[in-house]
A and B are shown apart, each in its own frame.
Chain A
Amino acid sequence: MVWLPKQSVVVPVDFSDKSFDAVAAALELVEDASHLHVVHVLPSLEPAEPGVIWSTIDDPSRARHAEQAIHERLEEHGLKQAQVAIAFGDPGREIAEYAQKASAELIVLPSHGRTGITRMLIGSVAERVVRLAHCPVLVLRD
């Protein structure tokens, strides 16, 4: 891996401060903020959710809302140019898939470090991304 500015870096965000810090950190690795792909993965809608039953919410409307919310947060961090994408499903899998689609050279993400029973049951997103990604993954530790 050569430490030259990257053309495409994927940074998943989950609306935590840590994840937006990771976006800021990733900015050091690219020439221009527009080479950053900020991606957020939404869980699939439950078929019995009231908004689904009455078709008042759907994936496109959720994507619109989430995208707008990410843009607002990015602006606070002075990262207006970054590209924003929304995916649906299992975060680990979707992040890896998106990175491949965007021909990412690197994925940067913070580790939240789940503990106890949730770690045992579902592990961490970072773990899954590392396992599934086709490109290098940089996990930021505290």
Chain B
Amino acid sequence: MSTARIVRRLALSAVLGFLFLVGPSSGGVARAQVDSAADAPTDEAAIREAAPDANSAVSADGKAETATDEVDGEPVSWIRRQEKHVDELFGKWLVEPLASVLFFNFWSDQWLLVNEKTGKGVSVPFVVLWLLFGAVFFTLRMGFINVRAFRHALHLVRGDYDDPDDEGEVSHFQALSSALSATVGLGNIAGVAIAVGKGGPGAVFWMIVAGLFGMSSKFTECTLAQMYRRISPDGTISGGPMHYLKEGLSTVGTGGTRTFMQGLGVVLSIMFTIMCIGGSFGGGCAFQVNQSLGALKAQFPDLVEWGWLYGVLMMVAVGVVIIGGIRRIAATAEKVVPTMCAIYLLTALYIVLSNYDKLGAAIETIVLEAFSWESVYGGFLGVMVVGVQRAAFSNEAGIGSAAIAHSAARTDEPIREGIVALLEPFIDTVVVCTMTGLVIVITGAYNNPEYADLIDRNQGAVLTSEAFGHVVRWFPTLLSIAVVLFAYSTLISWSYYGERCWSYLFGDRAGIVYKILFLVFVFLGSVVTATNVLDFSDLMILSMGLPNILGVVLLSGRVRRALDDYWGRYRAGEVTRDR
């Protein structure tokens, strides 16, 4: 593939994209419901004063600007007006229509546990119930595999059972790391802060519960990805929900049932690929860029005007890897993730331990608030919805994305990779998210009036950074750099998931179209408001669970049989250690 061709294509798409975004705005922008600015946490009081009815805006983001930045609700600088314009288009034409279909909540916000003061009920989107149902179902169906296989999982990751002659690309450990680099990202840093901000400390409890049950979802889907993976003649592997939904369901039942299942499999696999492509643009891309930019802006206020430039730089950094094919950068970025994660965890641990006198109270608050019927966060149910939603967003259990990476593991026992995969929600949610949550609760950042505006604007990464900064002054600077690297490695990993799905739909040669679209979303992430990006990301990522969990439930009998067979041999000592 010649470089000149790539450069020409990139240039053309950049020019077209720019014209598309900027073109219609010259006529002036009137709708001032949503804005993209106010990302710098300066003068929060002025912001709240200027927007007394902020909460009535459709997507709860109708905040006014800081005095220096806006006149009569319109940003002063040209570039900020363009950003605002793009944000409005994004919210109106992408987020709102998608939300009405994918996040259908049976109008529960009108009748379920209506709060007398606000007149609003608890909104329970179907997809959140669906994810929770899946996690509990798989835990029961697999006989608490999340508990009983935990020790075995550690042995597997350590490589005790690795056989270099098995088919596959990478070892158990390597597959787990690759999957984790996509999972551990801003969801763990920003997502938790958003959860605690929106759902109170109790949300942390529900995140942990969802993480523990989610281990079983992850086990089941990753086992299936191994069972129905395709090994190409060149030794490369393709697998994931799009494969097991189609291949797996095509052999379920007999006669009429089988014909129905074949059709269902095709429909579900196509649904999954479309959602996954969307998810890679949202949670795997725009959300990461957006939240990391928020953290950067808070740390370096001079950057407020230069958000778009961050978008462009990120575009270039991702472009040279996914289009330019410079593999070393991607490999380095992914391998830095565990180190950064360790630094992050150690700092969080330091903060928790140095406040050990507050630890008991924090845990008590987390547990009590999780079950409180009368909390300001919409009661027990509201808190649970927030917790489950943010946990699923962060650990992707039941979503199906990680199954794509785990299918590449080198093994002839699908169950083994499933067992390795169940560590993922544990590390991601039960360990990393809990630490973030504890720091936010212990430092009291979530109910500090100073930060109310950050919570309203879904600036989760900034809130976490502030919470850390309370105790370790220099940490926010380090965190803002770490956050960029986390975002970057997640972008690269998710671009791979999306690309796999795109190729599945359109063939290997159409990949370039996907990659250009991906870069467009990298840029959009830097100019659209956090709330619009979060809503879009939630919609796409969580909706992947709709087709995935349905298919996995239908195929769970096969996983259970394979598990019983493997577990029997393992208990009988017939499963050999290779070293």
Tell me the A residues contacting B by CB distance below 8 Å: 15, 40, 42-57, 61-63, 65-66, 69-70, 89-91, 114, 117-118, 121-122
Contact = CB atoms under 8 A, between A and B. Distances in A.
Contacts of A42: 234
B327 interface: yes
* Interface residues of B, dominant DSSP: helix
B193 interface: no
A20 to B, nearest CB: 12
B162 to A, nearest CB: 12
A117 B506 contact: yes
Interface in B306-342: 321-322, 325-327, 329-331, 334-335
B170 A54 contact: yes
Contact of A47 (B175, B236, B327, B513): B327
- For A45, A48, A61, A62, which residue has the most chain B Cβ atoms within 10 angstroms? A48
Interface of B: 1, 169-171, 174-175, 178, 233-237, 321-322, 325-327, 329-331, 334-335, 405, 408, 492-493, 495-496, 499-500, 506-511, 513
A45 B232 CA distance: 13
Contact of B236 (A40, A57, A90, A118): A57
B206 to A, nearest CB: 32
A53 B334 contact: yes
A44 B236 contact: no
Nearest to B328: A47
A48 B321 contact: yes
23 contacts: A15-B233, A42-B234, A43-B511, A46-B499, A48-B321, A48-B495, A48-B496, A48-B499, A49-B169, A49-B236, A50-B170, A51-B237, A53-B327, A53-B334, A53-B335, A54-B171, A54-B174, A57-B236, A61-B235, A66-B234, A117-B506, A118-B506, A121-B507
Nearest to A128: B509
Contacts of B326: 47
Nearest to B334: A53
A49 B322 CA distance: 11
Contact of A62 (B174, B236, B492): B236
A63 B234 contact: yes
Nearest to B515: A46
Nearest to A61: B235
B510 A48 contact: no
Given A69-B233, A90-B509, A121-B513, A47 B330 contact: yes
Given A47-B321, A47-B326, 5 more contacts: A46-B500, A47-B322, A53-B335, A55-B331, A122-B507
B169 A51 contact: yes
- For B169, B174, B235, B511, which residue has the most chain A Cβ atoms within 10 angstroms? B235
B510 A56 contact: no
A50 B322 contact: no
A57 B235 contact: yes
A65 B233 contact: yes
A49 B496 contact: yes
B507 A50 contact: no
Contacts of B405: 50
Nearest to A40: B233
